[in-house]
Amino acid sequence: MTPLAGYLLVAALLFSIGLAGALTRRNAILVLIGIELMLNAANLNLIAFWRYGPHPEALTGMMFAIFSIAVAAAEAAVGLGLVIQIHRHAHTTDLDAMNRMKG
Amino acid sequence: MSVVFYLLAALTVAGGLAAMLLKNTVHCALALTVAFAGLALLFLNLDAQFAGFAQILVYIGAVAILVVFAILLTRGSETPKDGVFSRTWLTGLAIAAAVFAVLGWAVIGSARVLPHETAVPAVTVQQIGVALVGRYVLPLEIVGVLLTAALIGAVIVAMHEKVEHEKEEQK
Amino acid sequence: MIENCDQIFVLLRHWLVSFLPAAWQQTAGVLLSVATIVCLFPALFALTTVFERKGLARIQNRLGPNRVGPFGFFQPIADAIKSLTKEDIVPLSADAAVHFLAPVLLVITVFMGFAVLPMGRNMVLVDLDAGLLFYFAMGASSELAVFMAGWSSRNKYSLLGAMRAVAQMISYEVPLLMSSVVVVMITGSLSLTKIVEAQNHYTWGLPHWYIFTPWGFAGFLMYAIATTAETNRSPFDLPEGESELVAGYHTEYSGFKFALFFLGEYVAMFSISGLGTTLFLGGWSAPFSFLTWVPSWIWFFSKLMLSIFVFIWMRGTLPRLRQDQLMNFAWKFVLPMCLVNLLVAGLWRFMGDGWLRWVVCSAILLLAYAGMGLGEMRKQRLGPRSYRYAE
């Protein structure tokens, strides 16, 4: 198995762990944690291909990953702000209890 | 496939698993930090120095602290009565397992045609800087605007609405 | 002879490592340097605790420790024996694993910063291309250790202290990074060795240190403010103010773990002062061109100890800032000044050599400072000073 395949498998594993967490946990913040794990797994994929792929354009993969890190940080901030405001309104972060639009 | 890669991969996957399986939310956030650190080390192993240090600075230095603050502000440290996994946990797990199966099959199936350059792309920080204001100036400016919008948006979304409460009390 | 004196530690390392087979030499060299750093800076920490206590005492018109050893200089040995032999109390409801890991994480991240500091000519442990970014990444990671300490103690005072400390550290991280970015802009590199080399030139005997330029001076002042806040030193030490929060986030720590926190705080002070001297004060370069015969590492450590002395002086002189005053100051004064400084540094670079750029840049900075300062003071409606005497 080539090194690139190893990194891609690790990234796939992390992605599915993040997905499993985002789909199965009750707390909204843990869903956001799962999403962050998925974004990180995608970044690992990008950097692995940047390192082991052909290099006609030596910077693309690295740039993509850096922009992805920046955007993920912004998205985490806004998402957590939303979770805090929802908690203030509904006094809970339990997603199973928040399955209606009313209230 | 070196020992270092296996160790780092094990660390990262263990961190990710712990982040999704532990009961205490703050422990999950700290396990997530371990996963971030493992990923940063994997980036360094791939000779992507700038991305690795940016990962530590942004994710461990900012996102992890943000997550922890949010947990504290929403009383996440108290364990809910009905357990930590939702009612439909089996479906979620099945979907995630299916996704992993498809991705794993794709990777292993194409293992022979995957590229394998041994030469490290020689990227200095100066080249990154020149590229950021040269070729990638439009994404840079857009990300700047996006970050400003996210900053203002997060502040507005999470702000205390004291004015409305006072008006309601007066009525 | 002069060069041998300057490179004495490098030559010593070479000589010690030459006894080993060639395959192990590089690893052994790195391990030797790491061991030196890990032994040197805690020793310096011990010395600094005595200097601080005696310095503060003299500022407060008293003597300080004077019993243990000549003029009290063996006090750190007594302190070390005390903290090592004290009982290590962990509260029953505390989160044992996180409670144990917090000081460990703090000490690790704080010591990692020394890997990129050039302590003399050719005396940097790892010459990274993105050295400054590595340093700030390690600094950012230490904030999580503070939070872990405060949260795991299950103590309201600890949590409050930890939250205040983390909020303060995040707020002042932005001015810290921005005031360093100015140096990177002018030098054109993130590598700390290149930054020092760019300052190692002399005109008419005076050095090209960045502090002697308008943007460098403003940057250095803002860097100094930001570092005082980052290391929770007075006047920004509300998170560990004894009169307010018992002991803040290290209330529930005793014995060796408390000593580790103390060590972590002081070593962070050394490391961030070291970075400040590298960025603004010329690192290991001598102040005048006729003094270059003095070994470079002596200059680096003298400047470091000078910064530490200024920290101690500030602690003894200035009153503590309240949390909201501190945050206001960071976001509403220091950050806009940093942005103005960035503009000024850009102007400096593009105006070319000559006296005009000095005048223009200084004028812009002084105007911005005066304008914002007056604006803040008017907002606070400060009247003339009044005195009340005890009757």
Answer CATH for A3-90 from 1.10.287.3510, 3.40.80.10, 3.90.1570.10, 3.10.180.10: 1.10.287.3510
Nearest chain C CA: its distance from B39 CA (Å): 14
B164 touches chain A (CB under 8 A): no
Residue C391 has pLDDT above 80, yes or no: no
| Nearest of A27, A89, A101 to residue B81 by alpha carbon | A27
| Higher pLDDT among residues C155 and A21, named by residue | A21
Chain B residues touching residue A23 (CB < 8 angstroms): 88-89, 91-93, 95-96
Q: Say how far residue C109 (Cα) sits from the centre of its chain.
A: 14
Q: How confident is the model at residue C158 (pLDDT cuts 50, 70, 90)?
A: confident
Contact call for C and A: 3+ CB–CB distances under 8 Å: no
- Predicted pLDDT of residue C247: 67
Mutual angle of helices B64-73 and C156-187, in 10-degree steps = 150
Beta bridge mates, B85? A25
Distance in angstroms (rounded) separating the CA atoms of residues B2 and B169: 67
Residue range A31-87, pLDDT digits in tens: 999 999 999 999 999 999 998 887 767 788 899 999 999 999 999 999 999 999 988
pLDDT at C361 over 60: yes
CB–CB contact C128 B72 (8 Å): no
The residue among C379 and C357 whose pLDDT is bigger is C357
CB spacing of A40 vs B36 below 8 angstroms = yes
Looking at residue C161, its pLDDT comes to: 83
- Cα–Cα distances (Å) from C114 to C219, C223, C267, C383, in that order, read 22, 18, 10, 47
Delimit the domains of chain A by residue range: 3-90
Identify the closest residue of chain B to C188 by CA–CA distance.
B126
Please, are residues C168 and C322 in contact by the beta-carbon 8 Å criterion? no
- Which residue type, as a one-letter code, is found at position C208? H
Looking at chain A, the whole-number percentage of residues with pLDDT higher than 90 is 58
Average pLDDT over residues C225-233: 90
Contact B158 A58 (CB under 8 A): no
Task: Label residue C325 by pLDDT band (50, 70, 90).
Answer: confident
- Please give the average per-residue pLDDT across B149-164, as a whole number: 82
Rounded CA gap, C263 and C142, in Å?
A: 13
Detail the DSSP E strand segments found in C197-321: 202-203, 206-207
Q: Is C136 on the interface with B (CB under 8 A)?
A: yes
What ipTM was reported for this prediction?
0.92
Chain B residues in contact with A1 by the CB 8 A cut-off are 1, 108, 111
Looking at the domain that runs over B1-79, which CATH code has it been given? 1.20.120.1200
Q: What is the CA radius of gyration of chain A?
A: 17
Lowest-confidence segment of A42-46, B91-95, C200-204 by average pLDDT: C200-204
